[in-house]
Structure 1
Amino acid sequence: MKVKAYIVVLVLALITLTTSCVSREDFFDLANDIINPEIKISYPKSGPGLNFGDVEQYSSKDETITLENSGDIDLIITEIAVTGSAPDKSFFNYSQMPLVVEVGGITTFRVIFKPSALGPKDALITIVNSDSSDDKYSIQVFGFGKQPTGPLISVSLKTNDVSDMNAVDFGSIENGLTSLPARFVIENIGYADLIIRDIFPATNDIHSFIVDDMLTSYTIGAGESSTFDVVFHPLDDDELKSDIVIESNAMNTGNYSIGVNGYGLSSPSTEPDINVIQQGSDPNLLGISGYESFDFGKVYSVNTDTMIFSIQNTGTSQLTVSSISSSKPTIFKEQSLITPAYINEGESVTFEVTFNPGGGPGDEELVAVISIDSDDPDIIEDPYTFEVRGTRTNDNIAKLKVHQDGFYITPDTGIYSFGQKDIDTQTTVSFTLENVGMADLVVDGIDSSNIDNFAITNIPPTVKASESETFEITFKLTEVGVFSSVITIDNSDPDLSSGFVFNVTGGSIYLPKITVYENMDVFEHNTPYKFGSVEVGSTKGPVWFEIKNTGEADLVIDLPILIDVEDSRHFELDTTSIADFVIKKDGSESFYVTFKPDEEGTFHNSSGVAVEFATNDPDRKLFRIRLWGEGTSD
């Protein structure tokens, strides 16, 4: 993430009309004996100028500067400005300018040093005033940004930095339907545990954007990452937007905000919707036109490499693809799809992009934009674009590709499904390690994060240049549920320094499925229920929630609880009607929530108030109902 160092000078205009003296032992007096009026400046003495010393990146340190009028008439301060190598004027507070200091009076302001980059920083503070002998009083300030020791947060959409995006656009969706999920990655690029306190839609159309945190780890170690998904579920026939807020203990930002928007269409809707993914990655994730980038990595100058992409129609009518083009067709050539191509609702077609780096200097990165013209009506997808990049090399290197029976798996985002199996069965699948490079590939090991369900066997030690070897994964199913594992292939491909990583999944044929209803309407996980305004001392409710098992196997739930935060006292949870925590197929249990504010204020999901309970539904291991209500005086 790009950052700029800055020194923040925040003028607080803390005016104290007093004749008290400032101690010369504690402050460094820079003033000369001037009259009519006379400005005197003092601040903590630490060598030449004001030196903050070492301050951790993203943290802050402040010092107080005292300004005194020792003259015979009022001193008028018209501006306090900062210049130099690292100023940031956006943090000035000029609301009190001009500032008048009476005879014998003093005022103070703080200088805050908050380095957002490492290394030495300096700036010059200039105080413009009515003292004719010193009308531009200057103070040099210094500081050094040192390595932080706390957690730092970085958020990306798949592999694309969210900070570079204006907003994530979900396009147009029929009201009541749900989009493909946009998957966000939270990475801790700091040096201590990153604690995620909450993730929620915070503004505007909060009911139309749903956060799915089933895969989210709320404590992320240094150098580690976790994911969460957001889906668009429009409830209105209009443009809808919100901000997804991540509350954490990150030093570089307290609350990380991600803009999201989409357009709800009248039901029923008949519009096509284009979605593009790389073959071998998760087919159930949303692609974002204009922001995605796919990297071929290093390719030997006389070789070529090919990626396969899938164009999906996730809309409600036939999609017509009229053309596909490359901004650099001699280097990145699209092929194998005859246009126009007609894609029915729910179907897809594939095309290839071949990287041919050709002769030239080694280690040169080459980039192109692929454009897909279609009749998708969304402006952001007209055309649908994504970036491809690759690096030409003249070195003989190994280059690993992994496929299963011709189905190529992408590193990091790739997924292979064993499907649904019977309990107490084993399924073994062979995967191919293909070395398309010019040097032998060394395989240092292949690991599974879940060896109980996914075991690795027959690992080859090397794969010769332009040859292939195989290894096997055995999926062992012993109980009802859906299981997964992270497979890591440690190898000598220079583009895969962290290994070739992909996911495998598999589950039982019969599964439980939780569906929650609120007064007979389906209530989605992690969405807020709004009680509205209620007079203090009164109640609203109870509101009835039904937990129903719409799956094929027994649904097991824990006792629903109110999250223990301060605002939870304004809500009452009644679970006495729950007779059994094992819910059979088509069975259900119920609970009730009442809002009873005991003080004025707004009590809602941003403070964490929610009802939560765990389940054995593999797609919804934790169900959350956020609560929202306002206590009023009348």
Structure 2
Amino acid sequence: MRKKINMYASAILFVLVSITSCDKDEEIIPAEFSITDIEKDFGAVEVEQTINYSFKVTNEGGSDLEIDEFVLKGTNAADFSTSAVPKVIKKEESYTFEITFAPLTEGEKKAILEITTNIGKKEVKVTGIAKPKPLPGVDLSETALVFGNVEINQTKDATFTITNSGDADLEITGFEIKGTNAANFSTSATTETLAAGETKTITVVFEPTNVGEKTASLEVTTNAGVKAIALSGKATATPMSVIEFSESPISFGNVEVGEDLSKNIIVSNTGNTDLEITNVNIIGGSSSSSFTVIGGTSSLIRTIAPGDTYTFEVKFTPSSQGFASASIRFFNNSSENEVFLPMNGTGTAPAQPAIAFSETGLNFGDVTVGNSGNDLTFAIQNNGQGNLEVSNIRMSGANANNFTLVNVSAPQTIAPNSFYEVTARFTPQSEGQKQAMIVVESNDPTKPSYAIIISGKGLQAATGNIVNIPDANFKSALVGNSSINTNGDGEIQVSEAQAYTGVIRVDGLSISDVTGLEVFENISQFHAMNNSLTSIDLSQNTAITHLSLKNNNLTSLDLSANTALQTILIQQNSISTIDLTNHSSLVNFQCGGNNISTLVLPTIANGLRTLYLEQNQISTLDVSMYPDLRTLVAYNNNLSSMDISNNSRVISLHLRNNNLTSLNVANGNNVNFIYMIADGNDNLTCIQHDAGFDPLNPPNTQANQWVKPSGASWNTVACQ
């Protein structure tokens, strides 16, 4: 009604203006409608989505443009809407409004916006395409999970994937396992949102608690529907191993004490899973030590597959007469975690040996002092039923040093009704009746230590009696020494040998035997370097102070009687053991180039100054008790440590190529060192030296050498 009143008022006003204008002869310019678009294509829009477009109406005329109504018409008018409202637009002004495309269904959409104005109706055509709304999709990689056979109370995992095959987010809202055996299956999967194309792996666990076929269903609930996966598996009984033995108990019967009897025993696994033997020991009290497993009980720790076997050897060695028993205890994974295999046997009295001698005694008769009589022999006989085990054959008695055993060795095994011959030699050292015993130690239960008396008489050598010197080169050297051969004949008399107190020097004369030297009881020095000696007896040369045997073929050397020695030179031989325990007068000891592994130095030797021990097999060396030691050379040995901190006079130390891990040379005298060489000890990391001393810049640059392994450091405090 209001619109009509406005229209009437406008008409009246128009008439009045026209009359006035006519009177004034003026022209009235009407309103003019102009819009930015008369057609608009919104393009493709998803269903239930919106898109806006702005339109602008401009009044390009000279009068007001009155817009009375905006109406959407057409088949798809409901898919469009507008924000436009009636409006009066002054000349040269504009009005902007929007049209919204919001499709409700899929397909092509068309409509017309009809605009009613005071200068007529105008139309704007709008079009658009409504495309489908994006939706999520749910694809499962599996329709069923088959777990197969699983032991009860064990677990097995299976996986599947969920893929969002749609265009919108897939919302996974729940996982639920249903069915008769649902309790045997589980999953830790949680709710989740998957973007388009995204995949999620889900794990399902089968953990049966009792035997039988198990089924269930896993339902996956999403915003794209519910999907289900069938679950199945078979719960099987827990496999068991069964341990069995080819013989139980193991009966050894009667076995002589000291003998042994072995048996092979087969251990079998008759179960349906691996037999795990984790530990084995022998138990059974005091007699258990009579039974042993060959290779040790640890050799039985193993895995035996179902149906397989393992053979081992067990031995019965009775240590006393009587019944003995024990058990082998097997710790294993069978139903019986501890299985016992009993063993028994009886120790019986062994067949005993019976020692006897073929002679009641040996009498060498009269022999000149310093000479040897004829060798005498007797047999050690075994008149018993068991083996005679001879552990030692030795001389004993006050005059034992007048007798020697010739080519006799022990231990010896003498079978029943067999014998072993022993040869003895008499070399009297002084006149008078001499007696000793040859003692045989054996396993004869009644005579474990059995002796035969040996005797002889030493006759005083008359003036002119000749010393036996079998080596021609040795004899020639002695005969050619006028200080020894005082009568100038071609022999050495006993009296000449005993009277001589000087030096015997026979170096480099190809001498292989120095028999006869024992008569020179009073010599002060003996030098026999560069010869072919394989043995030497110095037991009668107790006055010697200097001994030189360098570069011979000696394999052993007994110096126990030569405690007056001050200098010992025995380099380049093949000696393995040297005992100098009581050599308190020792000053100079050199034994390089032997095979010495056992070296016993004097317990006290205040005057010891020089030790050359290179190229041996010495592994330990303590020199702390030698205050006057000046030179220590011990390269190419097996020493693991060396400490000379108590040897304040040492000025030369050579320890190259050992196995040193510890070295302390801080003896307060480093500034006077001639050399300190310790390279070739790859495990040595630190060397302790005197405080205030710089081993890199020693004071005597011409003479001093301080050499260490590249990996070792110098330190003035104790190395860690």
Bin of the TM-score, shorter chain as denominator length: under 0.3
Larger radius of gyration: 2
TM-score (ref. length: structure 1) = 0.24
Structure with bigger strand share is 1
Structure with bigger helix share is 2
TM-score (ref. length: structure 2) = 0.22
